[in-house]
Chain A
Amino acid sequence: MADVNRGNRPLSPHLTIYRPQLTSITSILTRLTGNALLIGALLSVWWFVAAASGAESYARADAVITSWFGKLVMLGSIWALWYHSLAGIRHLIWDSGRMLEITQAEKLGWAVIVGSVLLTALTVAVL
């Protein structure tokens, strides 16, 4: 019973078979940004650990994060953080049973995309 047809069962259609839509793209981006944020998060932890270790190690970590490449990674992380946060709020709205109609879901999708860009611009302007 336990080893009847294991691993060879039919699968439901997946990503490759569907036409890209706003709802699917924003969903994929939610997963992508959330997991990619590991890089920015580990860089931030490194900055704190370096600051706790002393002036020399701090100078090294801070130089990497404020280099042009470090800044590029941090800028991407800030956008990913805002995008993932807004997309998360969208999930909280959906979880409460609201805005589940396709037209409403697509409106929320645009709000997440536009909102994340605006918040990133605001963050860069303020900091």
Chain B
Amino acid sequence: MGYITDRKRAVGMGSAHSGTMHHWHMIVSSVALVGLVPLFVFTFGRAVGLPYDEAVAYYARPFPAIVAALTFLVGFIHFRNGVQTLIEDYVHGFARKALIIAMICLSYTAAAAGVFAVARIAL
């Protein structure tokens, strides 16, 4: 018993048996976003409003492009997990399942669209 870590002791507990991993994923993605968010705000903020040629040239550079792609990917996975908690708290029955599925699909679609668009501009 003494050799088991705190997290390992919590894994599989609770009614859904998967809450520990959900919480862990939120921690990992939020730590990543603490770094990504300021980088994204101050790169994207500089590109918005530029003429087309300049905006495309700006995101053809590796640094802003990688920051944007990572922010969309990690951000929408973080949103997917966060909005699931919101729905589980306030929506019940069939609507709950339908909304969770819809939000998961929306999150991955938005992440894919964002990453694809950045890649298309950058390459």
Write the residues of chain A forming the contact surface with B, with a CB cutoff of 8 angstroms. 7, 31, 34-35, 37-38, 41-42, 44-45, 47-49, 51-52, 55, 58-59, 62, 65-66, 74, 78, 81, 85, 88-89, 91-92, 95, 123, 126-127
Contacts and interface: CB of A to CB of B under 8 A. Distances in A.
Mostly, the B contact residues are helix
B37 A58 contact: no
B52 A58 contact: yes
B120 interface: yes
B44 interface: yes
A59 B79 contact: no
Contacts of B92: 7
Given A35-B83, A48-B117, A65-B48, 6 more contacts: A35-B86, A38-B79, A42-B110, A45-B113, A48-B113, A81-B37
B87 to A, nearest CB: 10
Contact of B117 (A35, A52, A81, A123): A52
Interface residues of B, number: 35
Q: Say whether chain A's binding surface is mostly helix, strand, loop, or mixed.
A: helix
Contact of B48 (A7, A34, A62, A91): A62
Contacts of A89: 34
Contact of A127 (B37, B42, B117): B42
Nearest to A78: B41
A78 B37 CA distance: 10
A84 to B, nearest CB: 9
B37 A45 contact: no
Nearest to B31: A92
Given A85-B37, A92-B27, A95-B27, A48 B48 contact: no
Contact of A52 (B48, B83, B121): B121
